[in-house]
Amino acid sequence: LHKGGILYPRESETRQIQSLDGLWNFVVMNNSNPVLGFKQHWHKKSLRELDLDVQLMPVPSSYNDITTDWQIRDHVGLVWYERTFFVPKFWSEIGRVWLRFESVSYAAQVWINGQQVMIHEIGHLPFLAEITAYLRYGLENRITVSCDNTLLPDTVPQGYVKELQNGRLQQTYTFDFYNYAGIDRPVKLYTTPKTYIDDITVITLEATPTNALLQYNVSVIGDYNVTCRVTLVDKNKNVVTGQLHSPDFFGSLRVENPKLWWPYLMNPEPGYLYSLEVELLDSYGDLVDKYIQPVGIRTLTWTNKQLLINSKPVYLHGFGRHEDSDIRGKGLDLPLIIRDHNLIKWIGANAYRTSHYPYAEEIMDLADQMGIMIIDECPSVNTEIFSNSMLVKHQSSLTQLIQRDKNRPAVIIWSAANEPRTQYPAAKEYFRQIIQHIKNLDTTRPTTIVEAQGSGTTQASEFVDIVSFNRYNAWYSNEGNLDLVIENVVNEATSWNTVYNKPVIMQEYGGDTMAGLHFLPNFIWSEEYQVGLLSRHFQAFDFLKIQGFFIGEFIWNFADFKTAQDYKRVGGNKKGIFTRNRQPKSSAHLLRKRYWYLAKEY
Ligand code: GCB
């Protein structure tokens, strides 16, 4: 794993970016001899020169739903990607060249011109390496990637591989979303000077309407004789304040009458971002490196009853979501993510959880800019074996996530896991260490574990700051019986608070709904039933809200999404308020009324 910063690539006076997105060559490894590619050194040749079935595969995209072949869709194991590219000759003189993958699911090995430059495991997280010495400048270069989607008892998330009677491998897992794989987010080359800004951390220490205090830390690699200049610039590019530094690269900035970062609908100008321009200067005052870091000025505090932004209590209303859409699977798709955030605005949500893994950085940027509060979840879902190797990898996924998202004002809670089997005694020590690990890395945000267990059976929620639970009243229990919802939700949320004396969020509730299926009186799977189920929950939430400890409601799910093949699922999980094609079901109109009504309370 690369040590140091993992800053999102941004162009500046001193940095250039070249995208490697596009059509790559793609080969599915035959499982009768899965290591053949390594043995034959495929990374040293062009896949097209070998006698292989080479196809074109778009990057970024999951590969599963691109072809017409079910064996590719359901493939377990390795696939290979490759393409060629040129880098300009003058790049050999400007310092360093970096290669950054925003995510490969699940595990990747990367070669440049036949030489290995990176190995990375765990999907949905970026990884990078300096490849200056491996490139041919002004000439053609080849990049080769092997990608393995296998999930095992010590991967994050856990899975199992079983061999069918005919020898074919089948991946099984206990979560329901489809295990999409491939190079699913952008791939970039970028340059930095030899002496460069490796990492930046910015924390708001104080934020009132008249005064704010920011603390920053810049880590520099290379020649330490440089001076560091930081300048805070507002949206209109006016300089607000700044500082010149040497030899230390940390300090604090006072901002008078700051424009604070507020959540959507809590302020006429939500998601206000400043830019922290960080510059390295040589002894003549000439620019060596520059990186522009977006900064939202906001504090986050919490008590045993509330979560407060800029000292104001917030009530979260939003969704659990997925990165999922037709054909591209979990592949980053700009039209889709803008559509999604337009729908989020339309419906008046102020928050969502990145269930059940970190989302693309482009999505996180939108949340920062719009003031959408994010419960940032690491890729641990349904963990049931609490081994030591699992703990180490789970902690690594959190280290990588926090390193990536630490500066994001939108991120207000770290979610350590979704529905781990916390009833097992081994879960106790495991989650004590997981939560401690988060606290060692970031004390400015509260933690949660999203529980499927009850308050009486879990071994884990004593360690968190905010209690989260999922419950499918009138769906997985009492299906068809809406009359028990209000009482059950009120009782369960109350008991979580009674046992732990912490704020409580309902992170999932809902029911599968076929768009266009209507029944009066309501009947499960119909749009009427989803509307009825939601409105019962709203009554429970209204009661809970005035008790003072209940701080959020999240519907499962924003949109319908693909699952593994299962007789319970007709073409996927249909608990969406929107269809997979991002059109509203009847419930969306009801939800819109509620979320706008909640927003008016501010
Ligand atoms: C859950 C899971 C979520 C599933 C959902 C369902 O409890 O957290 O990932 O999609 O139930 O619809 O079954």
- For the four alpha carbons of 301, 305, 307 and 309, in that order, the dihedral sign comes to negative
- With CA atoms as reference, report the closest residue to 102 among 358, 360, 336: 360
194's CB contacts (< 8 A; 6+ apart) are: 95, 96, 222, 223
What is the 359 CA–ligand 1 centroid distance (Å)? 18
How, if at all, do strands 169-172 and 160-163 pair? antiparallel
Cα separation, 352 vs 507, whole angstroms: 9
Distance CA 452, CA 74 (A): 28
Check: CB of residue 300 under 8 Å from CB of residue 337: no
What is the rounded CA–CA span in Å between residue 138 and residue 197? 26
3-state SS, 17-44, equals EEECCEEEEEEECCCCCCCHHHHCCHHH
In the sheet that holds 227-233, the strands lie side by side as 239-245, 227-233, 274-281, 287-295
Contact in structure between 450 and 419 (CB atoms under 8 Å): yes
Question: Percentage helix, strand, coil, to 5, in the chain?
Answer: 25, 35, 45
Q: How do residues 62-101 score in pLDDT, each as one tens digit?
A: 999 999 999 999 999 999 999 999 999 999 999 999 999 9
Distance of CA 310 to the CA centre of its chain: 24
pLDDT at site 601? 82
Give the Å distance between the CA of 138 and the centre of ligand 1.
51
ipTM over 0.90 threshold: yes
DSSP 8-state class, residue 9: P
590: left (phi over 0), alpha (psi -120 to 50) or beta: alpha
418 lines ligand 1 (CB under 6 A): yes
Ligand 1 in reach of 175 Cβ (< 6 A): yes
d(CA 274, CA 234): 5
Ligand 1 atom 13: the closest Cα is on which residue? 176
575 C-beta closer than 6 A to ligand 1? yes
Distance CA 598, CA 570 (A): 33
Within 8 A by CB and 6+ apart from 205, the residues are: 213, 214, 215, 252, 299
Longest dimension (CA), the chain: 79
Pairing label, strands 107-112, 115-121: antiparallel
The distance from CA 193 to its chain's CA centroid, rounded to whole angstroms, is 29
Residue type, 434: I
Report whether 72 contacts 61 (CB < 8 A). no
pLDDT, residue 564, reads 94
Nearest to 143 by CA among 42, 5, 31: 42
C-beta of 573 in contact with ligand 1 (< 6 A): yes
11 is catalytic: no
| Nearest ligand 1 atom to alpha carbon 450 | 8
Inter-residue contact 236 to 221 (CB < 8 Å)? no
Ligand 1 proximity of 468 Cβ (cutoff 6 Å):
no
**Is 592 within 8 Å of 346 (Cβ atoms)?**
yes
> Could you give the 3-state DSSP secondary structure of residue 568?
coil
Q: Which one-letter DSSP state was computed for residue 552?
A: E
Q: How high is the pLDDT of residue 91?
A: 97
Helix H or strand E segment including 144: strand 140-148
**How many Å apart are CA 80 and CA 147, to the nearest integer?**
6
Amino acid at 588: A
Please tell me if the CB atom of residue 470 comes closer than 6 angstroms to any atom of ligand 1.
Answer: yes
Q: Which atom of ligand 1 is nearest to the CA of 452?
A: 7
Residue 393: φ, ψ to 5°: -70, -40
pLDDT < 70 regions, the chain: 1-2, 247
Nearest to 202 by CA among 312, 294, 281: 294
How far is ligand 1, taken at its centre, from the CA of residue 176, in Å? 7
Count of positions (residues) in the chain: 602
Kindly report the backbone phi and psi dihedral angles of residue 300, in degrees, each rounded to the nearest multiple of 5, phi listed first: -135, 125
Ligand 1 close to Cβ of residue 277 (< 6 A)? no
In this structure, the residue with its CA closest to atom 10 of ligand 1 is 176
Which of 377, 470, 475, 580 for mutating ligand 1's site (highest number of atoms within 8 Å of CB)? 470
- Among 279, 361, 419, 553, the active-site one is 419
Task: Show the domains of the chain with their CATH numbers.
Answer: 17-192 (2.60.120.260), 196-295 (2.60.40.10), 309-600 (3.20.20.80)
Edge-to-edge strand list for the sheet holding 96-101: 17-19, 187-192, 96-101, 127-130
Report the C-alpha gap between 231 and 489 in whole angstroms. 49
**Ligand 1 mutation target, pool 573, 574, 577, most atoms within 8 A of CB:** 573
Rounded Cα–Cα distance for residues 181 and 214 (Å): 40
- Provide φ and ψ at 440, rounded to 5°: -65, -30
CA 481 to ligand 1 centroid distance, Å: 19
Tokens representing residue 408 in the block:
């994001």
Q: Is 435 exposed, middle or buried (0-12, 13-18, 19+ CB in 10 A)?
A: buried
> In a mutational test of the pocket of ligand 1, which residue from 471, 508, 513 has the highest number of ligand atoms less than 8 Å from its CB?
508
Q: What is the pLDDT of residue 1?
A: 61
Q: Give the residue carrying structure tokens 């009833």.
A: 423
Of 556, 558, 566, the residue with max ligand 1 atoms within 8 A of its CB, to mutate for a pocket test, comes to 556
Q: What is the CA radius of gyration of the chain?
A: 25
Nearest CA to ligand 1 atom 7: 470
